[in-house]
Amino acid sequence: MSAATRAVTRLAIATGAVLAIGAVSPVQAMTPVDSHQACVRPASHDGARTSGIDREPAGMHVSAADQARIERQMDARLARSNIAPLVVGAEVPVYFHVMMDADGNGNVTRQQIVNQIKVLNETYGGDEASNAADTGFTFTLAGVNRFRNDTWHKDGASRKYRSQTRQGGSDALNIWLVDFKFLGIATFPWDYAQHPKIDGIRVHYDSLPGGGIANFNLGKTATHEAGHWLGLYHTFQGGCRPPGDEVADTPFQASPTSGCPVGRDSCPAPGLDPIRNYMDYSYDSCYTRFTPGQSVRMNDAWTAYRA
């Protein structure tokens, strides 16, 4: 599908406001991490998703030039596939890797994992709001692996443990449950070809349903990180300047949301901040939706990189 065709498709599902289509400016981290990831979010205190914004490792930045290159690459791959992707999604096998320490800390229950799968299916199925998109993606539990390793539990030697434990192909979502200073970290789909052994998302084990991180324990951190894994940027990436987050129906947003500030409007362009969007940094209880445009982009990225 050409860039022009994709633009028309996205404009067709826009909701009427002047909306973003755009560039990436990944969120900053508090400690160095490897460069092949989409999102780093601190999980140490209330409102953590806006903390550490001025402390991003240099390797985390995706320049405007890289952003443009990624879009050209995706357009080219879609054109070569001779497929005009419909917004139909796919069935995604999910492998959980529970990284405990020697004392068993981080050993989430089987029920928490089952509940996390349920949350993924509800959020990607558009079940939480009347204006939420049904993306067509469904998630099935393919396996649960448990490891006792103090280093891995704290996300140490992460490239090594991911390469040794990852399962499945490009279409398999691997979720490593660890204890670190962040809510979650994800890889983008366009990095899979060069780095297949570390593809997936790392999520704080206490962010699963029933976990202990206040305001972030309903399982929607995994929803957010899986969004990156499926090709979405943050709603606030690019700030108030076009092209935004590459999606036509998410209004421009100057900065990440903290809490659930109804009516927040951080940019002069029409449209309130999309605080209820899973790709913002709101409380879990505030999240309710992906947009139709985000659904189109996820299906484009799936066709280009994971199908």
Question: Which residues are catalytically annotated?
Answer: 225
Least confident of 84-88, 181-185, 187-191, 256-260: 84-88
**pLDDT classification of 62: cutoffs 50, 70, 90:** low
Q: What's residue 238's pLDDT?
A: 84
Q: Tell which wins on pLDDT, 82 or 111.
A: 111
Domains and CATH numbers, the chain: 3-306 (3.40.390.10)
Q: Is the pLDDT of residue 17 over 90?
A: no
Confidence (pTM): 0.83
Amino acid at 191: D
Amino acid 84: pLDDT: 58
Mean pLDDT for 206-212 is 97
Phi and psi at residue 227, to the nearest 5° = -60, -45
CA dihedral 124→128→132→135, nearest 10 degrees, is: 10
* Number of residues written out for the chain: 307
* All residues at 6 or more sequence positions from 80 whose CB lies less than 8 Å from its CB, including other chains: none
The SS3 assignment for 144 reads strand
pLDDT band at 291 (very low <50, low <70, confident <90, very high): very high
Cβ 237 vs Cβ 25: under 8 Å: yes
Picking from 186, 245, 249, 189, the residue whose alpha carbon sits closest to that of residue 38 is 186
